Chain A
Amino acid sequence: MKSSKWMALAALLTVVALVGAACGGDDKPTDGTNPPAGGGDCTWVIGTMGALSGDVATIGQPIFKGIQFGVDTVNESGDLPCQLQLESEDTQGSEDQAPPLAQELAQNPDVVAVVGPYFSGETAASGDTFAEANIPIITPSATNPDLSKNGWPFFRLLATDEASSTGTASYLSDVAKFSTVVVLHDNSEYGKALAELVRQKVGDSAVGDLIAINPEEDDFSAQISAAKATGAEALFFGGYEPEFRQVIKQGKDAGFDAVYVSGDGSKGTELPKEAAAEGAIVICPCDDPVASANPAANQFAKDYEASVGEPVSTYSIEGYDGVQLVAAALAAGGFDGDTAVEDIRAGLIDWFHSNVYEGLSKSFEFDDNGELATETVYAYEVKNGAYEQLGIVSELAGQ
């Protein structure tokens, strides 16, 4: 009897040790960032959080890789007195998982800024945490318009859903000239808001009810039937890529031959690979660096592919620009390893508000809420298994 008790105790201790070791692993600060090439012996941490795994990792990973490439580039240039170090948290795109991860970043005394979170839901869920620590939140991809209305130190590197929905409505009504549009969404913070805005802005062209799908389920056939019964020429879906792919597949299976249109949440790497998605339209406040008129952006696309080993994708360049923006502000502020982190955070926020930074994707000039002064929205079509940029929506519409 006695020995079995000791065995049980030993087993318990082993389990505790294993759990401890597993949790300890999370404290590892870097995530594959290259060792320093220049700079001093101090480090400034840039936090980032988003969907690094899970079914929406196809959207999160290109952003993360853009950010990582940005950090590597800054460190190689050796322009800063301290090394930049990237600390990443994986939310799997879930706003439920975001708050404790945000807490972890906010408690890190070396974090000078956060480039992220990537999605609107997780940004809404973690903004207060960062704001309390006065950490600048620089999102390369969260587009919900309300995010900038919370009084956070928030900076958005792209146009909002407000601008996107205006662009989308303009594309649907003025460019493609659809007279009937049916609108679906996935009930997410991002998807529903975008869908409602688009539906409102296409005005009389909107037909049928606003239809919600449940992204946790796979079968959308009833919703598709409802959409099909409207006989609309175009279907707009507010939501993310995996569901947009299912909507297209199930829509075409059901013989609903509309033009399938979605927003930036659907502009992931898997969509063009879907045979059924040929001809689908994505309206996105993102400039494709390959198709960009800016030679520096074209060069970025080449450098990124050479460094990361895969072609540049949606919001990679915004992620990269986010890091470069922070680096520019760090250099301009004259901070060094002895500056208190609170002063650096406050200094960065001031600098973002009072300066214009020429990034690769666009020129970053922020208003008091951290929104861009000029917002541009682009239209893309899925053609031959890839995205083809149709152009800037306002130019296509002749406005």
Chain B
Amino acid sequence: MEGFRYTLAAFAVQSGGYEGVNCNTAALGDLIVTGITLGSVYALIALGYTMVYGVLKLINFAHDSIFMIGAAAAYYLFVVWFGWTEEVSGIGLIVLTLVGLMFSALASGGAALTLERLAYRPLRRRGAARLSFLIAAVGASFFVTYLFQQEFLLGTAEHNFGSFMPSTPIFEVIGSPLNRPRLLLILGAVVMFIVLDRFVRTTRTGRSIRAVSEDIDAARMMGVNVDRVVATTFFIGGFFGGIAGFLYALVFRKVAWNLGFIPGIKAFTSAVLGGIGNLRGAVLGGLLLGLIENLSTICIGSEWRNVVAFSVLVLVLIFRPTGVLGEGLAK
């Protein structure tokens, strides 16, 4: 139920008058920079949706909880187990950040693998209908999210996080201050996208992923180990989701059980906007959605943010049903 409430809240037109388009140019620099930051989160999560869709034609709705697990893992590592509260700088900061990134990425990657093994593989073995996968995905999402809401895990409270990384601005881009977590998020999205794009295009595993994406039966006949390819795809998607979760927790300095819900919906939207199944589309869609959301907040009004963002999605899908860049992991 909580989930539906959030969905409604996210889409609802909240009361407040429409005052016409009136962009405040003074805020433009800020809006572009924060829009790109937000878009980077969506892009990183969207990569996970798009990878799995590309291979299995399945919308893995549990991906939002995989993202949340990344944030939760970082919270456990830094706050619960090590109780780290001091700010660090220099080499120490780099080491802590890398450790956090890897830990979150592996935790989420592992969770995605487990999910695939427990929820999807049995269905695949039985040749279940695509709808069954979708229901399993929705069920898994609720299961994991509400599992983490229990008091022995995160509980219902919101936790502070990320005090080890100084949040003071380090420099300004087009008049908008940028701090370390935000810079890291943008750079992280760019670097991770390039790595993944190269991986899928040039490596042997990448080739088998593309083969399965193009034609799963033909690939199997050609000797591709489909189970392994699917597992790898889930792991990579989860890995990226974990990185996104860690960086998200750093930027907003909080971790909570329901942290994945809104970013999950938005990232799914980004993937569809850019062209689901298409890695470059996921990144483009994420950045577009982040920018559209931010610009509509200031040009039209804060209550209209989600209305505008989702209207753009509908319009794009009317005129280009496959999204801006079209479908296809294989191409």
Measured CB to CB, the residues of A under 8 A from B are 53-55, 57-58, 92, 96, 187, 209-214, 216-219, 221-226, 228-229, 242, 246, 249-250, 252-255, 270, 273-276
Contact = CB atoms under 8 A, between A and B. Distances in A.
Contacts of B30: 221, 224-225, 228-229, 254
A225 B167 contact: no
A54 B156 contact: yes
Given A187-B14, A218-B252, A225-B294, A55 B31 contact: no
Contact of A209 (B19, B253, B263, B305): B19
18 contacts: A55-B156, A55-B158, A92-B156, A187-B14, A209-B19, A213-B302, A214-B10, A218-B254, A221-B31, A221-B294, A224-B34, A225-B27, A226-B297, A252-B167, A253-B169, A254-B30, A254-B176, A255-B176
Interface in B155-181: 155-158, 160, 163, 167, 169, 176-177, 179
A219 B24 contact: no
A254 B10 contact: no
B293 interface: yes
Nearest to A192: B15
A249 B253 contact: yes
Nearest to B291: A222
B298 A225 contact: yes
A249 B263 CA distance: 19
Interface in B257-293: 259, 261-263, 293
A14 to B, nearest CB: 20
Q: Which one of A57, A250, A254 has the highest number of Cβ atoms from chain B below 10 Å of its Cβ?
A: A254
A11 to B, nearest CB: 18
Q: Is the interface of B mostly helix, strand, loop or mixed?
A: helix
A217 B305 CA distance: 12
B226 to A, nearest CB: 32
Interface residues of B, number: 48
Contacts of A275: 163
B204 interface: no
Nearest to A54: B156
Given A216-B262, A246-B254, A254-B30, A226 B298 contact: yes
Nearest to A57: B157
Given A212-B14, A249-B167, A222 B259 contact: no
B182 interface: yes
B27 A212 contact: no
Contacts of A254: 30, 34, 176-177
Contacts of A270: 160
Contacts of A53: 155-157
A214 B306 CA distance: 10
B177 A253 contact: yes
Contact of A222 (B5, B6, B26, B34): B34
B183 to A, nearest CB: 11
Nearest to B24: A229
Contacts of A228: 27, 30
A209 B301 contact: yes
B43 interface: no
B37 A221 contact: yes
A223 B177 contact: no
A229 B299 CA distance: 12
A349 B9 CA distance: 38
B10 A253 contact: no
A397 B59 CA distance: 59
Contacts of A219: 34, 38, 252
B186 to A, nearest CB: 13
Contact of B158 (A211, A212, A242, A249): A242
A245 to B, nearest CB: 8
A217 B259 CA distance: 9
Contacts of B167: 249, 252-253, 276
A210 B14 CA distance: 13
B256 interface: yes
B330 to A, nearest CB: 34
B214 interface: no
Contacts of B259: 218
